[in-house]
């Protein structure tokens, strides 16, 4: 009797086990059939979509034209830095370079010839006006007549001026000369109001342009460069900004001029004669220089300066950025920041050290 009961229990266990296995098999089969139906449906949709569009639209070159060169079928991926120098560390001789920062890069080159503190945030003084000029050239019209207003007044003592007065009528081009040659802060402010509507909006445009150029360590608070703790940039960012500015022939012309002679009208309609000389010593006549400065700006044969901008404040020290060319047709951008303000030739002597690396 007991043995029969155990046999019956075993049969029941086996029955339940088989039933459970069949249940799982049915579930697996159902899931498989459902997946097959979904996959088939998706395949049909994809097939219908691709066959309904002309095949020419799916030629890779037609779909991704910006990845191809214009003259052949060579595939390439454009990169932001493909025509820019990449700086990763200070040069070995940087410790023997007195200014706070220095940098020289070949235009279109991959590496710098020298770098010191290329990414250190520093005040740029009037080198700021390179960005002011760039924004004016990009968004302004050089032939515009500008009637300057009260903004041309500058309270800071000893500041460089172009000699403008409220009511003066000049073209935007003339204001560029007044800003870049004698480093007129009044001209910079007049440009900002004309192009931006207000100085505040123009400064926003300057910062937007800096971001577009990936000058990520730059922040401007004014269009002229007078001292402000929140107004800063780096030697590398200045290289990026200058590299963009020299793409404009008008910038090269203005920033490379020794002097500008012109006329404009004052508020009463009388003619004002302007004579603005470039503050960049490299672009002055040799007869204007003393022996010490003549030696400081001496460059190796084949090197010449085609544009530049100076800047000096107590906080920024003496600053300079220049574009130079060599006899082989190559061009270079060099930056010196925070040179000694107490030594007349310190700025140019150290800039010449950088420039003379071109011909070494």
Q: What is the DSSP string of 27-75?
A: HHHHHHHHHHHHHHHHHHHHHHHHHTS-GGGG-HHHH-GGGB-SSS--B
CA-based nearest residue to 293, from 354, 353, 347: 347
129 is catalytic: yes
Q: What angle do CA 86, 102, 210 make, to 5 degrees?
A: 60
Active-site residue identified among 112, 115, 160, 183? 183
Judge whether 314 and 322 are in contact, CB under 8 Å.
no
Active-site residue identified among 91, 112, 115, 126? 126
Name the strand (E) or helix (H) holding 320.
strand 317-325
Helix (H, G, I), strand (E, B) or coil at 312: strand
Active-site residue identified among 115, 116, 129, 309? 129
Rounded CA separation 56/304 (Å): 53
183 is catalytic: yes
| Number of neighbouring beta carbons within 10 Å of residue 41 | 10
Residue whose entry in the numeric block shows the structure tokens 């997946």: 35
Side-chain half-sphere exposure of 318, counting CA atoms within 13 A: 18
Q: Which residues pair with 305 in a beta bridge?
A: 324
Q: Is the alpha carbon torsion for 254, 255, 261, 265 positive or negative? A: positive
CA-based nearest residue to 183, from 260, 321, 253, 278: 278
Active site residues: 126, 129, 183
């Amino acid at each position: 009797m007991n043995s029969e009961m155990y046999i019956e229990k075993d049969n029941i266990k086996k029955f339940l086990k088989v039933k459970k296995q069949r249940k799982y098999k049915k579930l697996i089969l159902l899931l498989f059939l459902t997946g097959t139906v979904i996959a088939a449906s998706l395949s049909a949709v994809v097939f219908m979509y691709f066959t309904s569009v002309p095949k020419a639209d799916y030629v890779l070159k037609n779909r991704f034209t910006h990845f191809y060169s214009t003259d052949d079928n060579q595939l390439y991926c454009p990169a932001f830095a493909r025509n820019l120098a990449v700086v990763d560390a200070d040069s070995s001789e940087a410790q023997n370079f007195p200014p706070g920062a220095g940098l020289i890069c070949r235009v279109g080159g991959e590496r710098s010839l020298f770098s010191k503190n290329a990414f250190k945030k520093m005040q740029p003084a009037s080198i700021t006006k390179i960005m002011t000029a760039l924004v004016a050239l990009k968004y302004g019209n050089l032939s515009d007549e500008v009637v300057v207003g009260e903004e041309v007044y500058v309270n800071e003592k000893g500041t460089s001026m172009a000699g403008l007065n409220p009511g003066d009528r000049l073209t935007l081009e003339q204001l560029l000369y007044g800003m870049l040659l004698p480093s007129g802060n009044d001209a910079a402010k007049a440009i900002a109001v004309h192009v931006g509507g207000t100085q505040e909006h123009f400064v926003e445009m300057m910062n937007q342009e800096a971001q577009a150029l990936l000058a990520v360590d730059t922040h401007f608070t004014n269009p002229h460069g007078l001292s402000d703790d929140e107004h800063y940039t780096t030697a590398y960012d200045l290289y990026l900004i200058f590299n963009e500015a020299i793409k404009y022939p008008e910038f090269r012309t203005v920033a490379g001029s020794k002097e500008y002679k012109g006329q404009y009208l004052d508020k009463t309609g009388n003619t004002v004669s302007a004579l603005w000389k470039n503050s960049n010593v490299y672009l002055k006549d040799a007869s204007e220089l003393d022996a010490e400065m003549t030696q400081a700006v001496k460059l190796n044969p084949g090197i010449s300066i085609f544009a530049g901008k100076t800047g000096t404040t107590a906080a920024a020290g003496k600053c300079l950025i220049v574009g130079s060319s060599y006899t082989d047709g190559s061009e270079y951008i060099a930056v010196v920041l925070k040179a000694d303000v107490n030594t007349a030739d310190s700025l140019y002597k150290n800039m010449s050290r950088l420039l003379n690396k071109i011909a070494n």
